[in-house]
Amino acid sequence: MNIKNTALIGLALPLLAGCGQVVGAFVPPQTVSNPGNLTGATLSTASAMRIQTVVGDIQYDTSAALPPQSFADIKYPDDVPFGIRPRAVSLKVAFSKAAVVGPCVAPDTFTVTLKTFSASLWNSGDKAGAATLSGAPNLTVKATRTGVGAGGTTYSLAANSVSVSANAATTDRAIDILTTGGQNDASASAQISADSDALAGCHLSFTLGDSSVTLSNFK
């Protein structure tokens, strides 16, 4: 998760070194892939889906994964000029595939809506001090059955992603977590509803595809 510089203003940049806010205005957004080891993670329902237009909550937590997927601090701001910090952050996560497990008769296709999505980051052992990004994307995704096996009925998903953003205070907290305290953990969760009552009583899981975080508004 190294953050790499891009060219700033060439010869004019040294003249701005004493003005962090001015320099920050010339730093383009910086994108980091696979924040918190989220790419490839599986968000699963903790309990069976229930009828109310079939709703449930899916979640993933690096500290509860087997084996745990905790990750180390990053060296920041070594790769950013003059120690300027981002004051805004956005997380983008793609949903790549789904699986249905349980006693229900899995349908050939169904549509699921991700009503809310949130992601949290904390120093390992201090979940109460987490920085959390959350939003209500209301993203609708169509799932199409691709096979049946020991892991349940699998589904492909149309290419869809969600994005959530943080304000300056949450961004500051996230940077502090990533640069102090050693090991870190992250979680992702969503509230979902599906349009097929046939899913009631089963567990539904989603595997995340590409994930990235973009830092911006450097000051």
Amino acid (one-letter) located at 145: R
How confident is the model over 139-151, as a mean pLDDT? 89
Are 119 and 61 in contact by the 8 Å Cβ rule? The answer is: no
User: What tokens appear for 175 in the block?
Assistant: 């940077």
pLDDT of residue 180: 85
Amino acid (one-letter) located at 216: S
pLDDT of residue 14: 32
Task: Tell me the residue ranges of DSSP E strands in the chain.
Answer: 30-33, 42-45, 55-61, 86-101, 109-123, 131-135, 139-149, 152-166, 184-194, 203-218
Q: What is the pTM of this model?
A: 0.75
Residue 6's pLDDT band (cuts 50, 70, 90): very low
Backbone phi, then psi, for 194, in 5-degree steps? -120, 155
Q: Residue ranges of the domains in the chain?
A: 10-218
Report the percent of the chain where pLDDT is more than 90. Answer: 18
Question: Residue for token digits 């304000």?
Answer: 167
Measured over all CA atoms, what is the biggest interatomic distance in the chain, rounded to whole angstroms?
Answer: 68
Going from the C-alpha of 113 to that of each of 35, 45, 64, the distances in angstroms are 24, 14, 26
